[in-house]
Protein backbone atom coordinates (compact mmCIF):
# COMPACT_ATOMS: atom_id res chain seq x y z
CA UNK A 1 0.00 0.00 0.00
CA UNK A 2 1.46 3.31 -1.03
CA UNK A 3 0.59 6.70 0.28
CA UNK A 4 1.13 9.85 -1.66
CA UNK A 5 2.92 12.85 -0.17
CA UNK A 6 -0.33 14.79 -0.54
CA UNK A 7 -2.15 12.30 1.66
CA UNK A 8 0.62 12.49 4.22
CA UNK A 9 0.44 16.25 4.31
CA UNK A 10 -3.26 16.03 5.09
CA UNK A 11 -2.48 13.54 7.84
CA UNK A 12 0.07 15.97 9.24
CA UNK A 13 -2.50 18.73 9.37
CA UNK A 14 -4.91 16.44 11.21
CA UNK A 15 -2.24 15.50 13.74
CA UNK A 16 -1.37 19.14 14.35
CA UNK A 17 -5.00 20.04 14.88
CA UNK A 18 -5.38 17.21 17.37
CA UNK A 19 -2.32 18.31 19.29
CA UNK A 20 -3.71 21.81 19.71
CA UNK A 21 -6.82 20.49 21.40
CA UNK A 22 -4.71 18.54 23.86
CA UNK A 23 -6.34 15.21 23.07
CA UNK A 24 -4.33 12.03 23.19
CA UNK A 25 -3.94 10.50 19.78
CA UNK A 26 -3.92 6.73 20.02
CA UNK A 27 -4.32 5.69 16.40
CA UNK A 28 -3.62 7.46 13.13
CA UNK A 29 -5.43 5.08 10.83
CA UNK A 30 -5.41 1.39 9.92
CA UNK A 31 -3.27 -0.92 12.04
CA UNK A 32 -0.96 -1.45 9.07
CA UNK A 33 -0.14 2.24 8.77
CA UNK A 34 3.14 3.66 9.96
CA UNK A 35 2.86 5.44 13.30
CA UNK A 36 4.78 8.64 13.91
CA UNK A 37 7.28 8.51 16.81
CA UNK A 38 6.45 5.03 18.14
CA UNK A 39 10.05 3.78 18.30
CA UNK A 40 9.71 1.64 15.19
CA UNK A 41 10.89 2.76 11.74
CA UNK A 42 8.06 1.45 9.62
CA UNK A 43 7.83 1.55 5.85
CA UNK A 44 7.14 5.15 4.87
CA UNK A 45 9.13 6.67 7.74
CA UNK A 46 12.50 8.30 8.31
CA UNK A 47 14.45 7.06 11.33
CA UNK A 48 17.14 8.89 13.29
CA UNK A 49 19.19 6.69 15.62
CA UNK A 50 20.89 7.48 18.88
CA UNK A 51 23.94 5.36 18.02
CA UNK A 52 25.97 4.75 14.86
CA UNK A 53 25.11 1.84 12.56
CA UNK A 54 21.36 2.16 13.27
CA UNK A 55 21.80 0.99 16.83
CA UNK A 56 20.17 2.18 19.99
CA UNK A 57 16.80 3.84 20.31
CA UNK A 58 15.25 5.62 17.39
CA UNK A 59 13.28 8.74 16.60
CA UNK A 60 10.95 7.74 13.76
CA UNK A 61 9.27 10.39 11.68
CA UNK A 62 6.28 9.91 9.43
CA UNK A 63 5.83 13.66 9.23
CA UNK A 64 8.30 16.50 9.10
CA UNK A 65 9.42 17.91 12.44
CA UNK A 66 10.72 21.46 12.53
CA UNK A 67 12.09 21.31 16.05
CA UNK A 68 13.45 18.23 17.83
CA UNK A 69 13.48 20.03 21.17
CA UNK A 70 11.11 18.19 23.51
CA UNK A 71 11.28 14.98 21.47
CA UNK A 72 13.09 11.90 22.72
CA UNK A 73 14.39 8.53 21.56
CA UNK A 74 12.06 5.61 22.13
CA UNK A 75 12.13 1.84 22.37
CA UNK A 76 9.86 -0.05 19.98
CA UNK A 77 8.32 -1.93 22.91
CA UNK A 78 7.44 -0.87 26.41
CA UNK A 79 9.08 -3.97 27.88
CA UNK A 80 12.53 -3.42 26.40
CA UNK A 81 15.07 -0.69 26.80
CA UNK A 82 17.68 0.51 24.33
CA UNK A 83 20.66 2.89 24.42
CA UNK A 84 19.57 6.51 24.49
CA UNK A 85 16.02 5.78 25.61
CA UNK A 86 14.33 8.86 26.94
CA UNK A 87 17.16 11.16 25.89
CA UNK A 88 16.42 14.28 23.88
CA UNK A 89 16.56 13.83 20.10
CA UNK A 90 17.83 17.36 19.65
CA UNK A 91 21.53 17.42 18.66
CA UNK A 92 21.74 13.69 19.38
CA UNK A 93 21.44 11.67 16.15
CA UNK A 94 24.32 9.43 14.97
CA UNK A 95 22.80 7.50 12.05
CA UNK A 96 19.78 7.42 9.72
CA UNK A 97 17.52 5.11 7.80
CA UNK A 98 15.19 6.54 5.17
CA UNK A 99 12.33 4.06 4.63
CA UNK A 100 10.11 6.73 3.14
CA UNK A 101 8.97 7.02 -0.47
CA UNK A 102 10.48 10.50 -0.63
CA UNK A 103 13.85 12.05 0.14
CA UNK A 104 14.38 13.82 3.46
CA UNK A 105 16.35 16.90 4.44
CA UNK A 106 17.93 17.38 7.83
CA UNK A 107 19.20 20.62 9.36
CA UNK A 108 21.59 21.38 12.16
CA UNK A 109 19.18 23.92 13.62
CA UNK A 110 15.43 24.08 14.11
CA UNK A 111 13.15 25.44 11.40
CA UNK A 112 15.30 24.61 8.35
CA UNK A 113 18.18 26.68 9.70
CA UNK A 114 21.87 25.87 9.92
CA UNK A 115 23.53 23.35 7.61
CA UNK A 116 21.33 21.27 5.29
CA UNK A 117 21.79 17.57 4.60
CA UNK A 118 20.00 15.62 1.86
CA UNK A 119 19.08 11.96 2.38
CA UNK A 120 17.76 10.25 -0.75
CA UNK A 121 15.22 7.45 -0.98
CA UNK A 122 16.35 4.32 0.80
CA UNK A 123 19.42 5.97 2.27
CA UNK A 124 20.99 4.55 5.38
CA UNK A 125 24.28 5.43 6.96
CA UNK A 126 26.10 7.18 9.75
CA UNK A 127 25.96 10.93 10.13
CA UNK A 128 29.08 12.75 8.98
CA UNK A 129 31.10 14.85 11.42
CA UNK A 130 29.10 17.89 10.32
CA UNK A 131 25.77 16.34 11.34
CA UNK A 132 26.57 13.90 14.12
CA UNK A 133 24.84 15.06 17.29
CA UNK A 134 23.86 18.29 15.54
CA UNK A 135 20.52 17.67 13.81
CA UNK A 136 17.57 19.68 15.10
CA UNK A 137 14.92 19.49 12.35
CA UNK A 138 13.93 17.20 9.46
CA UNK A 139 11.56 17.55 6.51
CA UNK A 140 10.39 15.19 3.80
CA UNK A 141 10.28 16.28 0.17
CA1 LIG B 1 6.91 4.56 13.45
CA1 LIG C 1 9.38 18.22 17.50
- For 5, the 3-state DSSP assignment is helix
Nearest to 110 by CA among 87, 88, 85, 139: 139
Angle at 6 between CA 91 and CA 106, to 5 degrees: 15
Residue 66 CA, ligand 2 centroid: distance in Å = 6
Task: Calculate how far, in angstroms, residue 73's C-alpha sits from the geometric centre of ligand 1.
Answer: 12
Do the beta carbons of residue 35 and residue 28 sit within 8 Å? yes
55 CB-contact burial (10 Å; exposed 0-12 / middle 13-18 / buried 19+) = middle
Residue pLDDT tens, the chain, 141 long: 455 555 555 555 444 444 444 444 444 444 458 999 999 999 999 999 999 999 999 999 999 999 999 999 999 888 889 999 999 999 999 999 999 999 999 999 999 999 999 999 999 999 999 999 999 999 999
CB under 8 Å to 126, separation ≥6 — which residues? Answer: 52, 53, 94, 95, 132
Please tell me the number of the ligand nearest to residue 136's CA. 2
Strand partners, 72: 88
* 136 C-alpha to ligand 2 centroid (Å): 9
Please give the model's pTM, rounded to 2 decimal places: 0.77
Parallel, antiparallel or unpaired: strands 104-109 and 95-98: unpaired
Cβ pair 96, 50 in contact under 8 A: no
Q: Report the separation in Å between the CA atom of 12 and the middle of ligand 2, taken as the mean of its atom positions.
A: 13
What pLDDT score does 16 carry? 47
Counting ligands in written order, the one closest to the CA of 47 is: 1
- CA of residue 74 to ligand 1 center, whole Å: 10
d(CA 123, CA 20): 33
3-state helix, strand, coil in the chain (%, to 5): 10, 25, 60
Contacts of 10 (CB under 8 A, 6+ apart): none
Amino acid sequence: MTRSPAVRRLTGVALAATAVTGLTLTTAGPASAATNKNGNVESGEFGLYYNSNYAGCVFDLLNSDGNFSGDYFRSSTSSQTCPGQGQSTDNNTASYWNRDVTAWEVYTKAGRAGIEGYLPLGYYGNASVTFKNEISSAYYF
